[in-house]
Amino acid sequence: MAEPRPWLYEAEDKGGIGAGVEDGGSSRRPSGGSPGAPRRRPTINDIARMAGVSKKTVSRVINDSPLVRGETREAVKAIIAETGFAPDPQARGLAFRKAFLVGLIYDNPNPQHTLSHQQGLLDAFQGSGFELVVRPVDRSSPGRLDDIRAFVERQKPFGVVLPSPVSEDEELVALLKELACRYVRIASAPLDTPEHMVVSHDGEGARQAARHLADLGHTRIGLVSGPPSFRSSHERRMGFASGLNDRGLSLDESLVRQGGYTYESGMAAARELLALPERPTAIFALNDEMAAGIYTAAHEAGLSIPHELSVVGFDDAPIAARLWPAMTSVRLPLRDMGRLAGELLIPGGGRDRAATHDVQPELIVRASTSRLG
């Protein structure tokens, strides 16, 4: 029988050397039993006992997880090499699936938001071993919490990212806490402690849009708002009203129409506004999809943008620069928001969890706005 291997006593929290030792901890190498019998193949439990770590730590080392300290990783790898241990491929695949997945749980009628957040998250995960799984959810469904519970229990993600408006669902956040599932929320205003938040300050962007239109001489300014169930819609509307007040104007409720963050809703709202006896000379839409609908309604009414109608959108999605004339829009760095959320969530992301994590909107002036008259 082989000589016992000395214990490795240096410990670390959550799966370091000396932590989580299983089976009481005999450190002997695996043997075949009676003298002369062939030695059996070592198992992951053998490696864990010999290294003085938990089986989970050995699994993480096998799968190149970033969750293990360098000295622990090297010690475990040395034992694996010494014993000739070969992990079971199927078990390794299951361990990878459980340890390295991050979920993106979303419900947004604007696909560009979701795509940009995905791109940002993938930027954050580059080289880390983490992978992204996307999970749509219907916020209005009474079964949404059961659906998400099943998703988390089945996939066992390392954590999840919640973009707006899912990030505003406090019942969902309570469920994630119950399940001990890490999470980061992306929202238009602070909703949680800094380690769980990326904030986009949508109200400030809308304020810039209002000032821009007022500075061009517009006083009859229409507003196409978003769904009332979205926090971003309220933040943007309040910011827009605040920007008008900065220039001595007020939001005229007769020039406000409800939209749904969709092209069709923006077109319908603009048709109503442009049919008024005293129509607005400028319209601000709370996202670019609705603003594109305003373009169509203006064309139907025979109005030239920007000479007869100025239009401003929000998000600065790719469509804003592709319309003719190119559209003035408030830029939200959606990809950066996703990247920040990913860096905040995963180990080694380089983010101080005690600090605030926010982005600032910026008005991008193009050809869809001009001075009145």
Domain harbouring 132, CATH code: 3.40.50.2300
- pLDDT tens digits along 206-216: 999 999 999 99
pLDDT under 70 in the chain at which residues? 1-39, 63-64, 66, 87-99, 109, 349-350, 353-354
pLDDT of residue 136: 93
pLDDT of residue 87: 67
Report whether 95 contacts 15 (CB < 8 A).
no
- Residues 210, 328: one domain? yes
Do the domain assignments include residue 4?
A: no
pLDDT of residue 30: 52
Distance CA 340, CA 336 (A): 6
For the chain, strand residue ranges (E) read 101-106, 131-136, 159-162, 182-187, 197-199, 221-225, 256-258, 282-285, 310-315, 328-331, 362-364
pLDDT of residue 67: 75
Do the domain assignments include residue 216?
A: yes
pLDDT of residue 355: 74
Range(s) of the domain holding residue 113: 97-200+335-345
- Residues 327, 211: one domain? yes
- pLDDT tens digits along 64-83: 676 788 888 888 888 888 88
Q: Could you tell me the pTM of the whole model? A: 0.73
pLDDT of residue 98: 52
What are 109's two structure tokens?
């009628």
Strand partners, 185: 162, 197
- Residues 320, 207: one domain? yes
Do the domain assignments include residue 15?
A: no
Strand partners, 358: 199
Residue type for 337, please? M
Do the domain assignments include residue 7?
A: no
- Residues 60, 132: one domain? no
Q: What does DSSP say about strands 282-285 and 256-258: parallel, antiparallel, or unpaired?
A: unpaired
